[in-house]
Structure 1
Amino acid sequence: MKDKVVLITGGTSGIGRATALAFGQAGAHVAVTGRDEARLRDIAEELTWLGVRHVVIRADVGVEADSRRAVEETVAAFGRLDILINNAGISMRALFRDADLDVIQRLMQTNFFGTVYTTKFALPHITQAKGSIVGISSIAGYRGLPGRTGYSASKFAMHGFLEALRTELLPQQVHVLLACPGFTASNIRNTALAADGSQQGESPRDEQKMMSSEEVAQHLIDAVRQRRRDLVLTGQGKLTVFLNKWLPGLADKLVLNHFRKEEPDFKL
């Protein structure tokens, strides 16, 4: 990864932050986007302390003009762009019958269109470099999850988009990776949107059982090095994908029972 230029959207916390630090420690030049100025300053200080060449950009990927500017500022700073990590995203935790429709729209705007916008503007540079486009997705992109209808829809959309794009870019030798971490000890769950669009706060899940953001980042950087197509993490995640493909009826029942146990406040 030495001297590669990587742009990470939503890189100020959780998996994004861990990924920025991991790429930086591997020798890459790092551009990070985020909406929170204080968190941007924090990640900038961490990268400076590590001696990583970097730029931080305040941008909302759900805004087309911000996504264009993020790519332009990255290329202006480093002269090229080799790797795009589409990480910015928001989650939800609400049954569809209770959820406001604007919550679904917000999820699609950030998780799906944020990926579309940034990838569109980065594409000429990535193509020139024969580089990598990465989508940080979820098991919810393989298997719809109760209480996360909008989130699942946004990740299914990301999967379809990046799978089609991968095929289009085969002649140009551009690498496209879909990475699905599974449940991770990350603040995306704590900032998930409730039915009315407010942040849920503390997650009901036990973080002791989850893979850390730092572990996810190391798996991710290895997958980019190896130019893998797909990355599904955790035994639970791999089992869910397998069962949903080969025994979908059983998967329905197991997923329902799992969420009834782990999130009993939902009346499923």
Structure 2
Amino acid sequence: MKVQLKPLDQQVVVVTGASSGIGMATALAAAGAGARVVLAARSERALDALASRIRQQGGQACFAVADVGRREDVERIARTALDNYGRVDTWINNAGVSIFGRLDAVADEDSRRLFDTNFWGVVHGSLVALPLLRQQGGALINVGSEASEEAIPLQGMYAASKHAVKGFTDALRVELQEDGAPVSITLIQPTAVNTPFPEHAGNAMPQAPKLPTPMIDPHTVASAILDAATDPARDVKVGAMATVNTLVSKLMPSMADMMGRVQMGRQQRGEPNRDRRGTLYEAGETGRIFGRGDDNAADSKEARMSNTRPA
């Protein structure tokens, strides 16, 4: 069945990971388009500031402090939406974190924590949202990555979690189609985005992490997300490199491996690592949409060698 979605100015929109980056850009854009927005993240201070900003601009917003890795916290997000606005029309599972470093250097507990946020956060959000969305129809939007379909050396656990998000999202979509449920299921797959994502990441490398260039504007991703909130879509790749990289990975895997080895030298800054855990376990600096981009990029040859083990 064809799923009919409301215009944004008639919607109640939930955004997880709303305290920075893509989530913050999406929340501001949704509120600017007239949606009533339910903000969720771990930082009460950042959420309060963002909700106040939206209200000062004439929008409507409320928030729930939540760790999406905990089902009970996600249920609190839903209760906040119902208590304030009576329903949910679009639920956006955006919260995510990464760990930079070779897989044999990453602690098991850190990898499990990453999966709690990136995978189980999507599972909890999806399964809590669905009963609400089934009532009057709506959109469930899961933010994956180009890493949902390709490998990223030095972000192996992040890529694994995003592969899991795609598998879960695709299976859920088919089950809802079989039910005839009035819910669209979308997977958003951006390329590298200039947000504080690297600064928030865990890091097992000797240097501070960064994303490889080119990076796209987080507002571009926010626009794609909100398009899916009004016009049903299955998979949305955002940024030309997301399409290129996933195609190369599927059609020319040996070339993709070679490109991955090159990328190993393009994910570090020319400065020492300062925080091994990042925001894996606690909310860190938030309230910013943009990150540092390619600032102070390390020499790619030296960076690659520093993350290579002797044979």
TM bin, normalised by shorter chain, reads over 0.9
Q: What do you get for the CA RMSD once the two structures are aligned?
A: 1.8
Task: Find the aligned partners of 1:5 and 1:84 in 2 and give their Cα distance.
Answer: 9
In structure 2, do the counterparts of structure 1 residues 81 and 205 end up closer, same or farther at CA, with 3 Å as the change threshold? closer
Q: Runs of 5+ in structure 2 lacking a partner?
A: 1-7, 269-299
In structure 2, do the counterparts of structure 1 residues 202 and 257 end up closer, same or farther at CA, with 3 Å as the change threshold? closer
Matched residue type, 1:218: S
Q: State the Cα deviation string for residues 51-104 of structure 1 (Å, max 9, x = none).
A: 111111111111111011111111111111111100011111011011111111
* 1:184 correspondence with 2:189: no
Shift of 1:255: 2.0
C-alpha contact 2:100 2:209 (8 A) present in aligned 1: no
Instruction: Please list, as runs of the form range in 1=range in 2, the aligned pairs for 1:156-235 lying within 5 A after superposition.
Output: 156-170=163-177, 171-195=180-204, 203-205=209-211, 209-235=214-240
C-alpha contact 1:126 1:174 (8 A) present in aligned 2: yes
Task: Find the aligned partners of 1:202 and 1:129 in 2 and give their Cα distance.
Answer: 46
Whose helix proportion is higher, 1 or 2? 1
Task: Find the aligned partners of 1:65 and 1:3 in 2 and give their Cα distance.
Answer: 28
TM-score normalised by structure 2 residue count: 0.80
TM-score normalised by structure 1 residue count: 0.93
Task: Find the aligned partners of 2:167 and 2:81 in 1 and give their Cα distance.
Answer: 27
Residue in 2 that maps onto 1:107 = 114
Task: Find the aligned partners of 1:116 and 1:180 in 2 and give their Cα distance.
Answer: 17
C-alpha contact 2:211 2:266 (8 A) present in aligned 1: no
Matched residue type, 2:217: S
* 1:97 correspondence with 2:88: no
Q: Rg bigger for which structure?
A: 2
Residue in 2 that maps onto 1:155 = 162
Shift of 1:204: 3.5
Secondary structure (helix, strand or coil) at the match of 1:169 reads helix
In structure 2, do the counterparts of structure 1 residues 202 and 75 end up closer, same or farther at CA, with 3 Å as the change threshold? farther
| Equivalent residue for 2:28, pick from 16, 21, 24 | 21
Higher relative contact order (CA 8 A, sep 6+): 2
C-alpha contact 1:178 1:230 (8 A) present in aligned 2: yes
Task: Find the aligned partners of 1:14 and 1:242 in 2 and give their Cα distance.
Answer: 26
Matched residue type, 1:225: T
Matched residue type, 2:12: V
| Equivalent residue for 1:145, pick from 138, 146, 152 | 152
Residue in 2 that maps onto 1:84 = 91
Task: Find the aligned partners of 2:118 and 2:211 in 1 and give their Cα distance.
Answer: 22
Matched residue type, 1:168: E
Q: State the Cα deviation string for residues 117-137 of structure 1 (Å, max 9, x = none).
A: 121111111111221111111
Residue in 2 that maps onto 1:40 = 47
C-alpha contact 1:137 1:179 (8 A) present in aligned 2: yes
C-alpha contact 1:81 1:125 (8 A) present in aligned 2: yes
What number of residue pairs does the alignment pair up? 264
Shift of 1:235: 1.6
Secondary structure (helix, strand or coil) at the match of 2:96 reads coil
